[in-house]
């Protein structure tokens, strides 16, 4: 299993956010709407990584660690779902 550093996670999110934001700003109609949704996904993901990192650094009790692990699992699931959605768009559209 490969674990990305916070810096790498934030860089990845920022890169994708900027890409989708640019597409949203230069497109119209449904393309702009979908690009905006993608941009917000990456911005939300970036925020979640920052918040989880902050909580992880300040909370060391076992209950907090369990919740952090669950949150990271949920983020991984959201990324997998997002990747599947993109794949479905490419194949279907």
Specify if 13 maps to a domain.
yes
Tell me: the pLDDT tens digits for 2-47?
678 889 999 999 999 999 999 999 999 999 999 999 999 999 999 9
Name the domain count of the chain.
Answer: 1
Query: 66-82, pLDDT tens digit by residue?
Result: 999 999 899 989 999 99
| pLDDT of 1 higher than 90 | no
The pTM score is 0.84
- Kindly state whether residue 36 falls inside one of the protein's structural domains: yes
Q: Looking at the predicted structure, is the pLDDT value of residue 90 above 90?
A: no
How would DSSP label each residue in 25-52? HH--HHHHHHHHHHHHHHHHHHHHHHHH
**Domain interval for residue 87:** 8-92
Q: Identify the CA nearest to 31 among candidates 42, 18, 43, 22.
A: 22
User: Is residue 41 assigned to a domain?
Assistant: yes
């Amino acid at each position: 299993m490969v674990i990305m550093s916070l810096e790498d996670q934030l860089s990845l999110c920022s890169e994708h956010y900027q890409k989708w934001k640019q597409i949203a700003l230069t497109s119209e109609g449904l393309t702009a709407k979908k690009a905006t949704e993608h941009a917000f996904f990456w911005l939300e993901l970036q925020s979640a990584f920052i918040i989880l990192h902050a909580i992880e650094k300040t909370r060391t009790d076992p209950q907090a660690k369990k919740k952090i692990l669950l949150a990271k699992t949920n983020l991984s699931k959201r990324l997998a779902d997002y990747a599947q959605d993109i794949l479905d768009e490419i194949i279907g559209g």
